[in-house]
Amino acid sequence: MNDLICNISNFCLINDTSITSIFFLHTLIFQVFSSIFKILNLLHLFLIFLFSFLEKLNLRNLFRKDILLYHFNRNC
């Protein structure tokens, strides 16, 4: 008979080296890596949209030295 170790969240581990425990461990590892890659994928998409948005705003020219000096001299 298999001994089960369960905690409050009904997360159970089987204490033998049966096919069920190996499959459970494989599934758990797959779920962890799948979650990590989903988070990385979302971060990657966010960065793509952020940089495309900044490029559309053309913020590269905002911090050029001659433009900053022009605005500074105009306000003085």
In total, how many domains does the chain have? Answer: 1
Quick: pLDDT tens for 35-60. 999 999 999 999 998 888 877 776 66
Give the per-residue pLDDT at 53.
82
Q: Which range among 8-12, 26-30, 64-68 has the greatest average pLDDT?
A: 26-30
Tell me the torsion sign for CA atoms 45, 47, 50, 51: negative
DSSP state of 18: -
Give the per-residue pLDDT at 11.
54
25 pLDDT exceeds 70? yes
Domain that holds residue 51: 4-75
Give the per-residue pLDDT at 3.
45
- Any idea how long the chain is? 76
